[in-house]
Amino acid sequence: MSAKFYSKENLQFLLHEVFHVEELCQLEHFKDHTIESFDMMLEAAASLGANHLRPILVEMDRTPPHIENARIKVHPKMRELMKKFGEDGWISMSAPHEFGGQQVPFTILQAVSFIFGAANYSPTAYAFLTTGAAHLIEAFGSKELQEAYIPKMFTGEWQGTMALSEPQAGSSLGDVVTTATLTDKGHYLLKGQKVFISCGDSDAVDNVVHLMLARIEGAPAGTKGISLFVVPRMRPDENGELVFNDVNTAGVFHKMGYHGAPIAHLMMGEKDDCRGFLLGEPHKGLSYMFQMMNEARIGVGTNATSIASAAYYNALEYTKVRAQGRKLTEKDASKPQTLIINHADVKRMLLFQKSVVEGSLSLCLQACKYYDLSKTAPEAEREDNFLKLELLTPMAKSYPAEMSIQTTSAALQCFGGYGFTKEFLAELFFRETRIHTLHEGTTAIHGMDLLGRKVMMQNGKATMLLMQEVMQDIEEAKKYNLLKSYAAVTSNKLVQLQEVSMHLMTVAQTIGPEAYLSDATLYLELFGIITVAWQWLKQGIAVEKLKAANTKDYSAEFLQSKIYALQYFFEYEVPKTEGLITRLKSSNHVTIEAKPEEIL
Ligand SMILES: Cc1cc2nc3c(=O)[nH]c(=O)nc-3n(C[C@H](O)[C@H](O)[C@H](O)COP(=O)(O)OP(=O)(O)OC[C@H]3O[C@@H](n4cnc5c(N)ncnc54)[C@H](O)[C@@H]3O)c2cc1C
C-alpha cells in the first residue's frame, strides 16, 4: 500500500501561497488563530489519517455494514474513531466558541477533511455529517434543542444526519411526503420513510440525530411547504433518560464502494410515536437545509478530490517501480526494460491526474474562502462573497466529482491488468469515488441550478463579480512570460462562455425552458473547466512569485512539477471546451425531440 495519500507540500502551497489563509486570522471571528495553529491542526490531521484511518481502509472495504437485530453494525473501529473525532475536537472545530467549538475557518476544516478523506473516506462522513447537522441546530434551533443535542454530537457520542431523500423524492425534494402533525405538547409526530440516509443508523454511536425534512399537515405543495425537524432515534424523556423514538431501521443499502459508511432506509412513526422538533419557522425547511447542503456540496468536491489524490499517489509510486518495454528510441532488446513512467503515455495519465487533482483542490479551497468571507468578513463585503460562493458551488461540487471518476480510472490504468485485481488499491479508489456525482444532488441537478438560477441570479451580479475576479488574475498572469499565452486563452474562454450564455438565453426566449436547460450538464462541464483553468493561472502566478523570490520553502522539483501540470491542463484539458461550445451553440435538439418509445 502506498504510504503517501496526499501532498503536504501542495496543501501548504495552496493554503499559503495561493489563498493566503493567514489573512483570515485578521478577521475578528478567527482572531485566536495563527498560521502556526493552522499548521499544527493539519499536522495532527495527517497523523490521525496515517495512523488511524489509513490502516483500516481495506478492512472497511471488505467488511461492509450489515443488519443485526434491526440495527446496523459497522466496522468495530468506528466507535473508537467517532470518540476520537469528538474528543480531539475535529467534529466541533468550526463551531463558534459559545457552542464549545474552536471557530476554525471552513477552509481549514475542508483541508482537514481532504487529508482524512485521502487516508480513508468513509469515516469522514460520520464526523462531518455530525458537524453539519449540529451547525443547523446552532443556527436555527431553540436554546433547549441546542443544549439537548449539540454537546453530545460534538463529543462523537451522537451521530448527525441529513434526512431528505424519499423513494419518490430524490432529485425532486419538493415531492417529500413524510408528514408532521402538531400535538398539543408542542412537538410534532412524524410519519413516513427516508431512503439513502448516510450514517442513518450504526452501532458506532449511542444515538442518531436526524435533521429531517417533512411536510406539516395542510402545508402547501412543493418546496414551499417543507419544514425542518430534529428527529432523534432515541429521545431524552422528562428525566433525561433516552427512550426509543420510533425511528426504525428498515434496511441497509449494499453499495459498490464507500463501504465503511452505512446508508440506511428508515421508517418513522410505525407506532405513531416518532417525535420531531421544529427548527426555525414552518415551511422554511428547505432554505434552512440548504445551509447544510451547501457546506456538504463543497465537502463532496473536496472528498472526491481526496480519493483522486490517494489514487494518484498510489499510481505514481507504481509507475516508478514497474518496468515494462523499452523507450521507442531504444532498439536493443537485450537492454533492461524501462520503468513505465518513462513512457509518454504513462506520463500523460499521471499529469492528467495531477492537473485535475490539484486544480480541483484549488477550486474547492476557492469556494471555502468565499464561504469564510461570506460569514465573517466586514459586513459590506459579505454579500459579494456569498454571491460568488453561490455561483461557484455547482462547479466545486461537480467538477471534482465527475473528474475523479476519470482520474481514478486513469490511476487504475497505470497498473495495467493488476489494476483490475484486488491485490492493489486502484480498483477500490475507482469504486469509492463513484458516489460523488450522485449524492448531494446529481450532476444534472447542479447543471440546472447553475444555468437555470445562478448565472442570472440578481440580474447576473454573481457572474459579473466572479468574472471580474478572474479578469484581475488574468491581468496579473500576463506579467509572467510563462503564463502570458495561458492568460490569453483563459480570457478567450470567458468571452466564449459569455457567448454561449447569450445564445442559450435566446434559446430560452425563442424555443422555451426545456431547450434552454437540456444541456445544462454540459454547460456546467464547460464552466467547470474554465474555473479550473483560472485556478491553474492562480497557481502559476504563485509559482512565478516563489521563483522570483528564490524561495527555499518549496523544492525546485515541486515548482517544476506544478508548471508541468499547469501546461498539461491548458494543453490537454482546456481544448475539450471546443467540443462543448460547439454542442452548446448547436440548434439540434435531439434530446428533446427523441420520443421515449423510439429510444430502443
Ligand atoms: C451512498 C448514498 C448516500 C446518500 N446519502 C444521503 C443522505 O445522507 N441523505 C439524503 O437525504 N439522501 C442521500 N442520498 C440520496 C441522494 O441524494 C439521491 O440518490 C440523489 O439525490 C438522487 O435521487 P434518486 O436516487 O432518487 O435519483 P433520481 O432523482 O430518480 O434520478 C435518476 C436520474 O435522473 C436524473 N434526473 C432526475 N430528475 C431530473 C430532472 N429534473 N432533470 C434532469 N435529470 C433528472 C438524475 O440526474 C439521475 O441521473 C444518498 C445516496 C447514496 C447513493
Quote the domain boundaries for residue 353. Answer: 289-590
Measured CA to CA, the distance from residue 347 to residue 315 in angstroms comes to 11
pLDDT in tens, 444-491: 999 999 999 999 999 999 999 999 999 999 999 999 999 999 999 999
Same-domain status, 365 and 462: yes
Number of domains comprising the chain: 2
Same-domain status, 277 and 293: no
Answer whether 494's CB lies under 8 Å from 472's CB. no
Amino acid at 201: D
Answer whether 211's CB lies under 8 Å from 289's CB. yes
Q: Which of 229, 259, 283 is the last residue of a domain?
A: 283
Q: How far is CA 142 from CA 136, 139, 186, 317, in A?
A: 11, 9, 13, 52
Ligand 1 touching residue 197 (CB < 6 A): yes
Same-domain status, 198 and 81: yes
Same-domain status, 522 and 575: yes
Distance 168 CA to ligand 1 centre (A): 10
Shortest-distance Cα residue to atom 45 of ligand 1: 444
Task: Say what the pLDDT of residue 293 is.
Answer: 86
Task: Say what the pLDDT of residue 51 is.
Answer: 97
Same-domain status, 350 and 276: no
Does a structural domain hold residue 467? Answer: yes
CATH number at residue 510: 1.20.140.10
Does a structural domain hold residue 385? Answer: yes
Ligand 1 touching residue 122 (CB < 6 A): no
CATH number at residue 227: 2.40.110.20
Ligand 1 touching residue 111 (CB < 6 A): no
pLDDT of 378 higher than 60: yes
Cβ-based neighbours of 50, under 8 Å, separated by 6 or more: 3, 119
Does a structural domain hold residue 599? Answer: no
Using DSSP's 3-state secondary structure scheme, residue 494 falls into: helix
Same-domain status, 305 and 385: yes
Query: Which atom in ligand 1 lies closest to the alpha carbon of residue 255?
Result: 1
Task: Say what the pLDDT of residue 515 is.
Answer: 96
Task: Say what the pLDDT of residue 1 is.
Answer: 54
Strand extents, DSSP E, 317-445: none
Query: Closest by alpha carbon to 501, among 477, 480, 524, 479?
Result: 524
Task: Say what the pLDDT of residue 68 is.
Answer: 95
Strand extents, DSSP E, 245-333: 247-252, 263-268, 275-279
Distance 439 CA to ligand 1 centre (A): 6
Query: Which atom in ligand 1 lies closest to the alpha carbon of residue 167?
Result: 26
Ligand 1 touching residue 444 (CB < 6 A): yes
Answer whether 111's CB lies under 8 Å from 15's CB. yes
Q: How far is CA 41 from CA 13, 192, 364, 435, in A?
A: 16, 42, 19, 28
Same-domain status, 180 and 303: no
Angle between helices 344-376 and 556-568 (to 10 degrees): 90
Task: Say what the pLDDT of residue 237 is.
Answer: 87
Q: How far is CA 156 from CA 81, 96, 211, 409, in A?
A: 9, 17, 16, 35
234-255: burial string, b at 16+ Cβ within 10 Å, e else: bbeeeeeeeeebbbbbeebeeb
Ligand 1 touching residue 264 (CB < 6 A): no
Distance 230 CA to ligand 1 centre (A): 22
Q: 425 — phi, psi (to 5°)? A: -85, -10
Q: Which of 214, 249, 283 is the last residue of a domain?
A: 283
Q: Half-sphere exposure of residue 73, counting CA atoms within 13 Å on the CB side? A: 7
Ligand 1 touching residue 196 (CB < 6 A): yes
Does a structural domain hold residue 1? Answer: no
pLDDT in tens, 160-204: 999 999 999 999 999 999 999 999 999 999 999 999 999 999 999
Same-domain status, 234 and 306: no
Does a structural domain hold residue 600? Answer: no
Look at the block and give the residue holding cell 471555502. 368
Pocket test for ligand 1, best of 72, 129, 165, 193 (most atoms within 8 A of CB): 165
Distance 249 CA to ligand 1 centre (A): 20
- Poorest-pLDDT segment among 82-91, 323-332, 423-432: 323-332
Does a structural domain hold residue 16? Answer: no
Task: Say what the pLDDT of residue 11 is.
Answer: 98
Distance 74 CA to ligand 1 centre (A): 24
pLDDT in tens, 495-521: 999 999 999 999 999 999 999 999 999
383 is catalytic: no
Same-domain status, 133 and 249: yes
Measured CA to CA, the distance from residue 370 to residue 465 in angstroms comes to 12
Does a structural domain hold residue 22? Answer: no
Average pLDDT of the chain? 97
- DSSP assignment string, 9-44: HHHHIIIIIIS-GGGGGGSGGGTT--HHHHHHHHHH
- DSSP assignment string, 414-442: HTGGGGGSTTSSHHHHHHHGGGGGTTTS-
Q: Which of 235, 254, 283 is the last residue of a domain?
A: 283
Task: Say what the pLDDT of residue 294 is.
Answer: 87
Rounded (5°) CA angle 500-502-507? 90
Same-domain status, 271 and 315: no
Task: Say what the pLDDT of residue 240 is.
Answer: 82
Same-domain status, 340 and 454: yes
Query: What integer is the mean pLDDT of 522-534?
Result: 98
Task: Say what the pLDDT of residue 331 is.
Answer: 87
Task: Say what the pLDDT of residue 443 is.
Answer: 98
pLDDT of 36 higher than 80: yes
Same-domain status, 355 and 399: yes
Answer whether 188's CB lies under 8 Å from 231's CB. no
Does a structural domain hold residue 2? Answer: no
Ligand 1 touching residue 211 (CB < 6 A): no
